[in-house]
Homo-oligomer: A and B are copies of this chain.
Amino acid sequence: MTSVDEPARPNGRIRDAARTQAEILDVATQEFARLGYDGARVDEIAARTRTTKRMIYYYFGGKEQLFTAVLERAYTVIREAEQKLDVEHLDPVAAIRRLAELTFDHHEQHPDFIRLVSIENIHGAEHIAGSEKLGRIGSPALDVIRRILAAGQESGLFTADVDAVDLHAMISSFCFFRVANRHTFGALFGRDLVAPEQREHYRAMLGDMVIAYLTAERSTH
C-alpha cells in the first residue's frame, strides 16, 4: 500500500485528467460488461481504478452517464474499425465473404462490446437514444455493403434486390448470436460456439450462408 506499488510514474505527472477518465472508462467497460448495468457497482468500479469514486461523478456525472460514455466509446471503436475495411478491390462475391469474415472476427475479438449491446437492449436502448454522439455516428460498413451489393447486382452475380441494412442484419445476427448466446447454447446443446477448434467451421458457414443467399435462384413461394 506504500507508494512503492507505483513503479516510477512514466509521465512524471500525478494529475492527468485524460488518463484518469480513460482508466475509469476501461474499468467501467469491464464491470458493466461483466455484471450488467444494475449488477455493476460504482464503488467497485472506483476501487479497481487508481482514482476514487468522486472522480466518476466529477467527470461523468453519475452511473447512468458513465454507462452512456462507455457505450459511446465502444461504438466509436467499432466504427473506426469499419472505416479500415478494404474489400472493394475484390469481386462482389469475394468482397461480401471477406466482409462477413471480418465482421465475424470483430465480434469474436470484442465480447465485452457484444455484452454491452445485449445489456443496452435489455434497457430498451435508452442510453443510445439519449446520446447525441451515438445518434449521428452512422455506419461505414453499411456504405461498403451498399456499394458491393450494387456492383454484384449490376454484374448479375447477385440475384435481384437485397437491401444493405437487411444483409447487415443477417451477417450480424449470426456473429452476434454466436458470442452473446454462447453460454445458454452451450449449456443446453453441449456445444461451445466459440471453441477455437470450431472457429474456422463457423466462419466458413457464415460466408457460405451469405453467398448462397445472394446468389441463389429465387423460387416463387
Instruction: Give the interface of A toward B (CB within 8 A).
Output: 35-39, 97, 115, 117-125, 128-129, 134-135, 137, 139, 142, 165-166, 168-170, 172-174, 176-178, 180-189, 191, 193, 202, 204-205, 207-209, 211-213, 215-216, 218, 221
Contacts and interface: CB of A to CB of B under 8 A. Distances in A.
Copies in the complex: 2
B209 A218 contact: no
B218 A208 contact: yes
Pick the 9 closest A-B CB pairs, nearest first.
A173-B177, A125-B183, A38-B38, A212-B216, A212-B212, A38-B39, A128-B187, A125-B187, A209-B213
A119 B121 contact: no
Looking at A35, A169, A178, A212, the one whose CB has the most chain B CB atoms below 10 A away is A212
A94 to B, nearest CB: 9
A99 to B, nearest CB: 15
Nearest to A176: B177
A205 B139 CA distance: 22
Contacts of A121: 118, 180-184
A77 to B, nearest CB: 15
Given A36-B36, A212-B216, A184 B122 contact: no
B119 A122 contact: yes
A66 to B, nearest CB: 16
B212 A180 contact: no
27 contacts: A35-B38, A35-B122, A36-B36, A36-B123, A37-B38, A115-B122, A117-B184, A118-B121, A120-B183, A121-B181, A121-B182, A122-B122, A124-B183, A128-B188, A129-B187, A137-B188, A165-B189, A166-B202, A169-B177, A170-B174, A170-B205, A170-B209, A173-B173, A204-B221, A208-B213, A208-B216, A212-B215
B118 A166 contact: no
Contacts of A168: 189
Given A173-B173, A174-B173, A213-B213, A188 B122 contact: no
Nearest to A164: B189
Contacts of A38: 35-39
